[in-house]
Structure 1
Amino acid sequence: MSGLPSNAHVSQHPCLLAKLSQLRSQSTPAKDVKTLIHDISLIVGCEALGKALTTRPGPTDTTPLGFEFQTTHVEPGTISLVPILRSGLGMVEAMQTLLPAPVPVHHLGLFREPTTLAPVEYYNNLPNHLAGSGSAGARASSLAIVLDPIIATGGTCAAAIATLREWGAQRIVVVAVLGAVAGVAAAAAEWPEGVEIWLAGVDDELTERGMLKPGLGDVGDRLFLTIGK
């Protein structure tokens, strides 16, 4: 797509595009919003992990009929999910469904300052993430999968990428539902050689408040029924 860098990918899956259209509607109830976020995350995540992961032979096992077969393991061996609070929580279950084994879930709390729209971190539970701790990066994942439904200005996503890079993640995959062209480009430029961004769709414009146009509203508010708070 024009305006996007080579490390940003927009799905063209027909079912995905139809579900994104349903998600955009103001008449879609919260229960269906949750289901649609899950379904979209599952499809985009499948495409993203199909490129990000490889396989290696595992030990021999036996089928119920007594035949031996060689098992398959995914690489890299250390993977973590990093949902951006709050709305990224709606994507976790889909990614856990895709992965063949449980992986750690580390949470990052980031919000945009209303006036400047600059990202502000208020929560971080990455292990040994503090600079100067003497063990920073010791437990960092080879692959960190950032879950954030919306990439608007790109500031929050870029801040998450910078934090994970400092933590010691060797590669980062960002899975999102919708992004603004300029915001996705800004996030992708934070670490071009180490980041791949995967989305269901993109919008061209942002409002003065930094919301996507036409967008799909505040995903966190729609998921957790806090609209009009």
Structure 2
Amino acid sequence: MANLPSNVHVSQHPCLLSKLSQLRSQNTPPRDVKGLIHDISLILGCEAFAKGLSSTPGPTDVTPLGFEFQTHQLLPNTVSLVPILRSGLGMVEAIQTLLPNSVPVHHLGLYREPATLHPVEYYNNLPNHLAGGSGTAGAGGSGASELAVILDPVIATGGTCAAAIQTLREWGAKRIIVLAVLGAASGVQAAAAEWPEGVEIWLAGVDEELTDRGMLKPGLGDVGDRLFLTIGK
């Protein structure tokens, strides 16, 4: 495996690695693809949040037997999930399940232009986001979350992930965690370099090669097509 930056973390969890092998297979049916994406996201989220989140003592509460206990509250105070349409939707439920409280889900729509493989944004529902801003969109309490969690199963060339990072930084996010099932080494390096001091990338696995069409080799295929039964559309 190529040398990866210090802000990139590749899981070695044995259950996750086994599930990733199942996900790679062309014989895995769509219903199982959805379940595997969920399970991998849950394991990956546990590992990422163990490092990227913390807690602080909160008010006391009382158990059903009348005993007082100390509660704990999650830090940072504001967290949002940012799935990249459309395949990132397959990761949302797992991360919502993992977090102790409900958090906003903001969607970003990005696609790769077929000829250049460059990312093109077609949808953005970040609150108070100034498209094409100069990095001040999140200033002055405009509603930007302290931590934004990007959800995207595959990092290929890294262009889409880097564009999402740039958008969230302009919005005003203080930190970003990227959760991805699989990445190409070169694409992961490119995404990690977009904002090294503010971004941590967590993956289940890394492939070394990309095809001339920008697909990972051996990869997972098109995760969106596999999730939503649009193969051959």
Q: What is the TM-score of this pair, normalised by structure 2?
A: 0.96
Aligned-partner SS, 2:50: helix
Alignment of 1:1-229 (within 5 A): 2-130=2-130, 136-137=137-138, 138-229=142-233
Residue 3 of structure 1 deviates from its aligned partner by 2.0
Residue deviations 1:174-211 (CA, integer Å, cap 9, x gap):
00000000000000000000000000000000000000
Distance 1:3 1:216 in 2: 22
Post-superposition offset of 1:2 = 3.5
Equivalent-residue separation in structure 2 for 1:42 and 1:181 (angstroms): 23
CA shift digits 1:4-31 (9 cap, x unpaired): 1000000000000000000000010000
The question of whether the paired residues in 2 share the 8 Å contact of 1:24 and 1:216 is answered with yes
Identity of aligned residues (%): 81
Amino acid in the other structure paired with 1:37: I
Amino acid at match of 2:137: A
Q: Give the deviation of 1:136 after TM superposition.
A: 2.7
SS in 2 for 1:177: strand
SS in 2 for 1:90: helix
1:200 counterpart SS class? strand
User: Amino acid of the residue matched to residue 61 of structure 1?
Assistant: D
* Distance in structure 2 (CA, Å) of the matches to 1:30 and 1:198: 24
Q: Is the 8 A contact 2:56 2:72 kept in 1?
A: yes
Secondary structure in 1 aligned to 2:115?
coil
Q: Deviation of residue 129 (structure 1)?
A: 0.3
Contact 1:177 1:200 (C-alpha < 8 Å) held by counterparts:
yes
Q: 1:57, 1:218 → 2: CA distance?
A: 44
C-alpha displacement of 1:130: 1.4
Cα separation, 2, equivalents of 1:42 and 1:74: 18
Instruction: Specify every segment of 5 or more residues in structure 1 that has no aligned partner in the other structure, as ranges.
Output: none
CA contact (8 A) 1:3 1:182 kept: no
Q: Which amino acid aligns with 2:164?
A: A
Deviating beyond 6 angstroms after TM superposition, the runs of 4 or more aligned structure 1 residues are none
Counterpart contact for 2:158–2:188, Cα < 8 Å:
yes
Contact 1:148 1:176 in 2 (8 A): yes
1:173 positional shift: 0.2
Is the 1:205–1:212 Cα contact (8 Å) retained in structure 2?
A: yes
Give the secondary-structure state (helix, strand or coil) at the position aligned to 1:166. Answer: helix
Tell whether the 8 Å contact from 2:2 to 2:208 is kept in structure 1 after alignment: no
Residue identity opposite 1:182 in structure 2: S
